[in-house]
Structure 1
Amino acid sequence: MYQVKRTGVKRFYFATKYSLQGIKAAWVEEPAFRYEATAALVLLPAAFWLAESGMQLALLLACCFLVLAFEIVNSAIEAVVDRWGPEYHELAGRAKDMGSAAVFMMLNMTWVVWASVAWDNGYLDMIKALF
C-alpha cells in the first residue's frame, strides 16, 4: 500500500508526535532509561551551577542528552533484534552488545567532561583540599 508523504507543518507535527511516543516507550519499557533520565533531572540544573561559560554549559547539557539518545538507540536495536526471533544468533548478540557499548562509552565520556569542567573551574581542587 502506498503511503502519502506529509510535508510542512503536518510533517513536523507527526514527527514530533512519534518522537514523544518513542520517549514515552523508553520511559515505560526501559529501566536504564528511567535511571538515566532521573540522573539528568539532577545533572541538568547542576550544569547551570557548574558551568562558567556558554561552551562549558553546552558540553555538560549535551552529554546529558546524548546519554539519553544513546540509550534510546540501544533500546531500539534490542527491540528489533528481539522482534526478529528468540533464538540466539551471533550477529544479534553482537548488535545488542555494540548498542550497550555505545551507551557505556557515552556514560564514560559524560563523567570525563563533567570532571574536566569541574577541574577547570577549581571545584576538584576544593574537594582535594578537604582530604
Structure 2
Amino acid sequence: MNSDLNGNKRKKGIGFKYAFMGLRRVWTSEKNFRIHIFISGLVVFFGILLNLSMSEWLWTGVCIGLVLILETLNSAIEAIVDYLFPHYHDVAAKAKDISAAAVLLSALFAVFVGLFIFVPKIINLF
C-alpha cells in the first residue's frame, strides 16, 4: 500500500477514477480546454470530409493530443502555483507564463501541421 502526504493508506492500482475526475475538472473549469476540444472536433469533422490518409490522421492525432495534454498540464501547474502563491509573485507569474507558452507553441505547431495537411486538399477541391 502507498500512503498519501497525510499518511493515509491507499490501495495500489490504476487510478482511472482519478484520471477521469481530472478530465471532468479540466473540462468544467478551463474554458481554453473546451475551446481546444471544439476545434479538435472541427478538425476531425473536416478530416473525415477530406478523406485524410493514415499518415495524415496520425499527424493530426499527435497534434490534437499534444495540445490537449499540454493544456491539461498547464491547468495543473496554474492550480498548484495559485495555491502556493495566493498573491502576486514574480516566480508564480513566470511559471504560469512559461506553462502557457508551452500550450501556445503546441497550438502553433498544430496549426502548421494542419495547414500542411489541409490546404493542399482544399485547393484540390477547386
Structure 1 length normalisation: TM-score? 0.80
- 1:99 corresponding residue in structure 2: 99
Q: What is the CA distance between 1:42 and its match in structure 2? A: 1.7
Deviations 1:73-121 (A, max 9, x none): 00101000001122222211111001110110011001100111124xx
- 1:125 corresponding residue in structure 2: 123
Q: What is the CA distance between 1:2 and its match in structure 2? A: 5.5
- 1:71 corresponding residue in structure 2: 71
For 1:30 and 1:125, how far apart are their aligned partners in 2? 35
RMSD over equivalenced CA pairs, Å:
2.0
Preserved contact between residue 36 and residue 68 of structure 2 (Cα < 8 Å): yes
- 1:110 corresponding residue in structure 2: 110
- Residues 53 and 103 of structure 1: CA distance in aligned 2, closer, same or farther (over 3 Å): same
Q: What is the CA distance between 1:23 and its match in structure 2? A: 0.8
Consecutive unaligned residues of structure 1, counting only runs of 5 or more, are none
Preserved contact between residue 70 and residue 102 of structure 1 (Cα < 8 Å): yes
* Structure holding more helix per residue: 1
Q: What is the CA distance between 1:126 and its match in structure 2? A: 4.3
Alignment partner of 2:9: what SS?
A: coil
For 1:51 and 1:91, how far apart are their aligned partners in 2? 47
Preserved contact between residue 36 and residue 67 of structure 2 (Cα < 8 Å): yes
Structure 2 length normalisation: TM-score? 0.83
- 2:46 corresponding residue in structure 1: 46
For 1:96 and 1:63, how far apart are their aligned partners in 2? 22
